[in-house]
């Protein structure tokens, strides 16, 4: 029974009672088209296995959360999202998409090689099952610190960042812009929480989306430039892959405090802290820690399982309320927020 209801809410979406709740955007009709790229698995909830649909571990629990968040209204809701491989696609034109760190090309290409060497050394340690967390956290601080040091030493300019983004293989998932627009219209804040580089994420948004959103804040490593646009240093405490949970709210700065090209005041951290219903988007189970700084009442977590589906699905299904497979577009999340914030609601 509840699965049928969930299907009608999240997956089918074309029945009259739900259609009237949808926002008046043309993209909605596209949300239900099938892509033919779905993972065909017996536990897949979708009745039409050719559609991009969510895998849901506990549909009763999810329905309760949807009801609670919808009843509390959009004023209580915030979205916390990881950036790389969550908002962006895992694959672009058949190749692995680049990350906000990975796409950056320095003035001295020798330093690109040095950063790659650090990646090859530290990345296996990051995922080692035998290194204790405390030790691993120190290693990650070391990796990020050395990488940032190489960026300063080998030279980065703001113009170089623009060119790197222009040359990069990075793309947002289809539906991300519509998701941000929907949330912006309802004054629902979005925290993009990333261990990457804030200045690059902003430039990706400028070049790929061609606009900025007043409700979006980027919590990530931020560069300091001199008057000639040369990288001098990094601001604040380093955010790496294992401390994304500690500074989500307190390190948040406005999206465009430097360029000032977003109208209106930035969202205050205090306002975000009073929004106790959370929609969390991530592509790693560790991303669930992004909401740890918040004493939330209800949290719906959406996981994007981009690769190695067969081995990882069980863990993702247990960890996240909903799991999208195989680099799915963002349309399912657009549909979800339209149900959390129905037209005519608060």
Quick one: angle between helices 133-154 and 109-126, nearest 10? 170
Q: How many CB atoms lie within 10 A of CB 13?
A: 21
Nearer to Mg ion, 97 or 189 (CB): 97
71 catalytic per annotation:
no
Q: How many CB atoms lie within 10 A of CB 50?
A: 12
d(CA 161, CA 179): 26
181 backbone dihedrals φ, ψ, rounded to 5°:
-65, -45
Residue written as token pair 């990975």: 102
The residue count for binding Mg ion (CB under 5 A) is 5
Residues 79-108, interacting with Mg ion (CB under 5 A) = 82, 84-86
Q: How far is the CB of 191 from Mg ion (least distance, A)?
A: 14
Nearer to Mg ion, 46 or 283 (CB): 283
Q: How far is the CB of 346 from Mg ion (least distance, A)?
A: 32
Nearer to Mg ion, 7 or 301 (CB): 301
Residues 270-289, interacting with Mg ion (CB under 5 A) = 283
199 catalytic per annotation:
no
- In the set 52, 84, 199, 283, the catalytic residue is 84
Q: How far is the CB of 263 from Mg ion (least distance, A)?
A: 30
Structure tokens at 103: 């796409």
Nearer to Mg ion, 86 or 291 (CB): 86
Nearer to Mg ion, 154 or 282 (CB): 282
Per CB under 5 A, the segment of 74-82, 106-114, 241-249, 259-267 that binds Mg ion is 74-82
Q: How far is the CB of 127 from Mg ion (least distance, A)?
A: 13
Residues 278-337, interacting with Mg ion (CB under 5 A) = 283
176 touching Mg ion, by CB under 5 A: no
Sequence-ordered alpha helix ranges (H) in the chain: 2-6, 16-19, 27-30, 59-72, 109-126, 133-154, 158-167, 176-185, 198-204, 269-273, 309-319, 331-340
Exposed/middle/buried for residue 234 (C-beta within 10 Å: 0-12, 13-18, 19+)? buried
- In the set 52, 82, 199, 287, the catalytic residue is 82
Q: Which residues pair with 198 in a beta bridge?
A: none
List active site positions.
82, 84
- Residues in touch with Mg ion (CB under 5 A): 82, 84-86, 283
């Amino acid at each position: 029974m509840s699965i049928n209801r969930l299907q009608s809410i999240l997956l089918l979406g074309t029945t009259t009672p739900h259609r009237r709740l949808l926002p008046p955007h043309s993209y909605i009709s596209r949300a239900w088209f099938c892509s033919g790229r779905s993972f065909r698995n017996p536990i897949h909830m979708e009745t039409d296995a050719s559609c991009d649909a969510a895998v849901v571990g506990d549909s009763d629990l999810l329905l309760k959360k949807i009801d609670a968040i919808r009843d509390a209204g959009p004023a209580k809701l915030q979205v916390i999202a990881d950036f790389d491989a969550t908002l962006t696609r895992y694959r672009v034109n058949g190749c692995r998409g680049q990350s906000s760190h990975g796409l950056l090309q320095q003035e001295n290409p020798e330093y690109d090689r040095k950063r790659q060497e650090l990646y090859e050394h530290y990345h296996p340690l990051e995922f080692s099952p035998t290194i204790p967390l405390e030790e691993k956290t120190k290693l990650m601080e070391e990796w990020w610190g050395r990488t940032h040091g190489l960026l300063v030493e080998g030279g980065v300019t703001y113009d170089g960042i623009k060119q790197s983004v222009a040359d990069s293989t990075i793309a947002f998932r289809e539906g991300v812009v519509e998701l941000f627009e929907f949330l912006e219209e309802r004054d629902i804040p979005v925290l993009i929480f990333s261990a990457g580089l804030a200045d690059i994420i902003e430039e990706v948004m400028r070049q790929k989306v061609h606009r900025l959103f007043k409700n979006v804040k980027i919590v990530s490593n931020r560069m300091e430039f001199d008057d000639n646009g040369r990288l001098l240093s990094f601001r604040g405490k380093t955010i790496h892959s294992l401390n994304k949970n500690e500074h989500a709210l307190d390190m948040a700065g406005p999206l465009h405090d430097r360029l000032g090209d977003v109208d209106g005041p930035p969202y205050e951290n205090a306002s975000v802290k009073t929004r106790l219903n959370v929609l969390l988007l991530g592509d790693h189970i560790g991303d669930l820690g992004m909401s740890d700084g918040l004493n939330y009442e209800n949290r719906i977590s959406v996981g994007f399982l981009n690769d190695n589906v067969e081995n990882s699905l069980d863990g993702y299904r247990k960890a996240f309320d909903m799991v999208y497979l195989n680099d799915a577009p963002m349309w399912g999340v657009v549909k979800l927020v339209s149900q959390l914030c129905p037209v005519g609601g608060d």
